[in-house]
């Protein structure tokens, strides 16, 4: 074999194939045998490249939402990795924020799920001119994604005070949003939700009716946050460099953190209700010990949207059949990403079975031994 016809090891790019190449190099093979092994690895790389190109073309032909879910499913198929793990406060996960933007006059929102209750009161922030400015109720996907990221960073950094300026922009990009500024850009929209979350007050409650016990925590999520207001519409609103969770919120977060997979969140990042349904399914299926049936009435109470106290209105769907149709569609999308999720739709609601951590692509709990 001439020099020109020898297989080129630089054509091997995948990490596992490179490791195989190193193994062959260490075996002291005869030149001809080594070249044959290299050629086989090159052919395997070519097959993979062809499959990736075909998959890429298939994804590009999909509608945007389906493409986002398919990409997340591909990423999840490698299994739940600890670097993919994120955390959200379980009460915030199960008793969600409003789904849609509300008028500034709407100052209080209430939601409930099972034995958990949540009240969110919109607040005010001090402007550089020394005036308190009313902030809206936090809402939608962006508020949920921000809380997920900030709660995750508090767990990761093991501190109520976290550095966020660089990590937050990177997280927004990872969620599939363009990091564009301007008055109508994504960064501005996310920063407005930071302000809404910084200003709001929360009442978090849990109760045990049989045991005759209840616990209520009144807290603001953040104890300290520097907020920078632009002086004209063309200026960008800056990220705060640090955020400090209130001690009450941080302590309850440390005890009630729900693990979720970041790739799954990316799949549903354009839909606050899908995020809530995913959170809820993760919590219920992971904690179940036997199958359970959930009625349409209970599902609508939780995912139809909560109660707005100021106006007295209840958000969501007026007709049950509209809610059922939408919920079925959203559940179908979630099952596209998690095809092994043991959930089925019935005439009366849904039936959910216990699921192992691998079904949800989160790592199994580590065993902790007390010293």
Q: Is the pLDDT of residue 368 over 50?
A: no
Residue 153 to residue 71: CA distance in whole angstroms: 25
User: 228-237: per-residue pLDDT in tens?
Assistant: 555 555 545 5
Long-range Cβ contacts of 352-356 (<8 Å, 24+ apart): 352/281, 352/284, 352/285, 352/288, 352/291, 352/292, 352/293, 352/294, 353/285, 353/288, 353/291, 354/285, 354/286, 354/288, 354/289, 354/290, 354/291, 355/285, 355/286, 355/288
Which of 64-78, 101-115, 157-171, 260-274 bottoms out in mean pLDDT, i.e. has the lowest? 157-171
pLDDT of residue 222: 83
pLDDT of residue 306: 72
The overall pTM is greater than 0.85: no
Of residues 217 and 193, the one with the higher pLDDT is 193
User: 86-119: per-residue pLDDT in tens?
Assistant: 889 888 888 889 999 999 999 999 988 778 888 9
* Mean pLDDT computed over 67-92: 81
pLDDT more than 90, % of the chain: 35
């Amino acid at each position: 074999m001439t020099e020109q016809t020898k297989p080129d090891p630089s054509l091997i790019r995948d990490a596992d194939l490179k490791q195989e190449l190193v193994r062959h190099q260490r075996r002291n093979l005869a030149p001809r045998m080594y070249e044959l092994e290299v050629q086989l690895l090159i052919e395997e790389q070519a097959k993979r490249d062809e499959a990736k190109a075909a998959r890429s073309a298939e994804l590009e032909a999909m509608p945007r939402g389906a493409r986002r879910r398919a990409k997340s499913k591909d990423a999840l198929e490698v299994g739940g990795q600890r670097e993919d793990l994120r955390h959200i406060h379980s009460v915030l996960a199960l008793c969600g924020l409003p789904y849609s933007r509300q008028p500034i006059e709407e100052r209080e929102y209430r939601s409930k799920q099972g034995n958990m209750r949540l009240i969110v009161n919109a607040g005010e922030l001090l402007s550089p001119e020394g005036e308190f400015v009313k902030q809206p109720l936090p809402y939608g996907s962006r508020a949920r994604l921000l809380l997920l990221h900030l709660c995750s960073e508090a767990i990761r950094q093991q501190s109520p005070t976290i550095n966020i300026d660089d990590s937050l922009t990177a997280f927004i990009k990872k969620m599939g949003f363009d990091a564009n500024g301007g008055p109508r850009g994504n960064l501005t929209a996310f920063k407005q939700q930071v302000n809404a979350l910084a200003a709001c007050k929360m009442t978090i409650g849990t109760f045990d009716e049989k045991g005759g016990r209840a616990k209520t925590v009144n807290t603001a999520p953040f104890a300290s946050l520097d907020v920078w207001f632009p002086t004209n519409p063309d200026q960008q609103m800056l990220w705060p460099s640090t955020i400090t969770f209130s001690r009450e919120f941080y302590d309850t977060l440390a005890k009630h953190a729900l693990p979720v997979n970041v790739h799954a969140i990316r799949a549903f990042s354009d839909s606050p209700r899908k995020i809530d349904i995913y959170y809820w399914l993760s919590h219920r299926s992971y904690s179940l010990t036997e199958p359970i049936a959930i009625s349409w009435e209970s599902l609508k109470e939780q995912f139809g949207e909560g109660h707005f106290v100021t106006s007295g209105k209840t958000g969501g769907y007026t007709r049950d059949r509209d809610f059922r149709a939408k919920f079925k569609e959203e559940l179908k999308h979630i099952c596209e990403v998690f095809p092994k999720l043991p959930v089925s739709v019935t005439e009366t609601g849904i039936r959910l079975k216990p699921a192992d951590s691998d079904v949800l692509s989160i790592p199994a709990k580590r065993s902790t031994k007390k010293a």
